[in-house]
Structure formats: structure tokens, C-alpha cells
Amino acid sequence: MPRLALLQSRAFATKEEALEKHIELIRQASENGAQIVVTQELFLTPYFCTVEDPALFDLADPLPCPASDRLGDLARELGVVIVSSWFEHRGPGLYHNTAIVHDADGQQLGIYRKSHIPQDPAFEEKFYFTPGDTGWPVWETRFGPLGVLVCWDQWYPEAARLMALGGAQILLYPTAIGWLPEEKEALGEAQHCAWETVQRGHAVANGCYLAAVNRVGTEGDSEFWGRSFVVNPYGQLVAKATTDQEEILYHDLDFSAVEDFRRIWPFFRDRRIDAYGDITSRWRS
């Protein structure tokens, strides 16, 4: 029964400070029995997408890089799976929001590039990120099969379904989401409810675990709401973090529950795969 750890953290002044702090957190999580450890979205930097500024592209790293290699070495040393979220410089003028999965032997199993890119006030991501082209990979790690999606991907049932069909028994979502001050009083709790509810639905519809790890603190106009969580295949909240505190959220995953749920609720059996061709259309008229 592998133990999951979600690292809910604030932003740091420099990438170097952020890396050292997260290495400390990963060590702490491992000491407390964690075998799968997940960072928040863009864990090395503040959430820089609040503005459009070409100078901020300098925050990106080619992958792999010395910092990601350090996480691979740490994964091997501790015998843990590490899922981390990066600002990737892929080529001249080409950047992605990218997750890396290191297995417990330190091997980089692969990357996932964020597929759905939002554009909203204080979330100016289309300026920085090219939509991902990695497809929907699932990795068979030492501690179980997992899929990684990133933040805005959370709202798309198609992405969750494709990773579940690839064999994922837990979906992991590194995240940076929060409130804007002009919206919080009127819409804040409704926005949070929608975010949490749609993901709980993904867990139910696919009969798998799901975990989202968010950041905390205020950056620019964005107040990140924390509340990282884990749900089981029934969509029940089995672990939830605070709104404003840095913390490590733990949960022991019983992957046998995935098979048990799918036997009782055979959604994969009853899918009408012959009838869904229109799903690839932009709109049905």
C-alpha cells in the first residue's frame, strides 16, 4: 500500500532556494514513509504567468537539467518516485509547462507536457506555453501505474479518461490555482467547489484515485487557495490540506480498491466506443 505525499508550498525568492527547500520536503516525506512524492505546478518559480513579460522566459530550463538530475539522484537515494513540474525551454522560442516522472531507481521514465493552456486575467499562460504534444502517457513505476496531468488539464474529462484507459490507477495534477481579489467574495467558494467537484467526478468516472497538489500564498493579484486533496475511486475526499499553510499531505493508496470499484461499476465495459466519433469535432450543429 504505497504512501503518497503532496508538497503544498509557497513560492521562493530564487530557483536555487526553491530547489533546496523541496529537497528538504522530499526527504521529510520519505522519512514519514512516502513512496510517491508530487510537487505543485512550476515548483521552482513564483507563478510568473500573472503578466506577459518576455524577460520571464529566462526562468525556463532545458530538460533534463542539473536541477532535474538532482531530483533523479534523490529519487534513487531514497527509493521514492518523484513527480515534479517544470518550465521547459525546448528550443528557440519554444516553451512548455512540463512534468517529469523519476522512478524509485532514479531513472527519468518520461515527461508530460501540459496539453490545455488557459488564458485569463492573471493567468496569461498562452503567452508562455506551447500546448503539449506528448499524448497521454502512463508510467508503470515501482509503486504503481500513474498518469500526470497539469492544472488546466483538470477540467477536461477526455484527458482523465485517456490516461485511465492507458492503465493509470492514480491521476496526479500539479496545480497553481487561486482567487482574484475582485472575484473572491462573490464567486470564490463557487470557483473552488467547481474545481474540486469536477476532479472528484474524474475519479468516479474512471474508477481510480486522483490527487491535486496546489500552492499557497499571494503572488501578484492571485491568492492561491491551497486545499490540495486526494480522492478515492468513489470520489470521496480521503485527505485534504489547509487553505493557507505550507504542508505535506499524505495518504496511503490501496490500489486493490481500483479493481474492486471497476468490477462493481463497470464503466469501461459499458462504454459505447462505436458511438463517440463526434467527440473529436469542435462543435456539433
114 catalytically annotated: yes
- Confirm whether 285 is domain-assigned: no
Cβ–Cβ < 8 Å for 150, 114: yes
- Confirm whether 238 is domain-assigned: yes
Neighbouring C-beta atoms of residue 129, cutoff 10 Å: 23
| pLDDT given at position 2 | 98
Rounded Cα distance, 88 and 186, in Å: 36
Q: How confident is the model at residue 276 (pLDDT cuts 50, 70, 90)?
A: very high
Nearest 5°: phi and psi at 186? -85, -35
126 catalytically annotated: no
Nearest 5°: phi and psi at 103? -80, 175
Residue tagged active-site, from 49, 125, 151, 196 = 151
* Mean pLDDT, range 4-32, rounded to an integer: 98
- Specify which residues 179 forms β-bridges with: 223
151 catalytically annotated: yes
Locate 191 and state its grid cell.
470557483
- Confirm whether 283 is domain-assigned: no
CATH number of the domain that 106 lies in? 3.60.110.10
Q: How many domains does the chain have?
A: 1
Q: What is the pLDDT of residues 77-132, one digit of tens each?
A: 999 999 999 999 999 999 999 999 999 999 999 999 999 999 999 999 999 999 99
- Confirm whether 276 is domain-assigned: no
* Mean pLDDT, range 186-214, rounded to an integer: 98
- Confirm whether 278 is domain-assigned: no
Q: Which of 168, 166, 167, 11 has its CA nearest to residue 83?
A: 168
- Confirm whether 145 is domain-assigned: yes
CB environment 62-93: b (16+ within 10 A), e (fewer): ebeeebbeebbebbbebebbbbbbbbbbeeee
Q: Which of 233, 208, 206, 80 has its CA nearest to residue 143?
A: 80
Q: What is the pLDDT of residues 239-259, one digit of tens each?
A: 999 999 999 999 999 999 999
Residue tagged active-site, from 49, 114, 125, 219 = 114
Residue 210's region, left for phi above 0, alpha for psi from -120 to 50, else beta, is beta
| pLDDT given at position 220 | 87
Domain containing residue 59: 3-271
DSSP 138: E
Q: What is the pLDDT of residues 209-222, one digit of tens each?
A: 999 999 999 998 89
| pLDDT given at position 48 | 97
Rounded Cα distance, 68 and 10, in Å: 20
Residue tagged active-site, from 41, 125, 196, 223 = 41
Rounded Cα distance, 146 and 9, in Å: 22
Locate 95 and state its grid cell.
516553451
Rounded Cα distance, 165 and 210, in Å: 14
DSSP 120: B
- Confirm whether 284 is domain-assigned: no
Cβ–Cβ < 8 Å for 193, 227: no
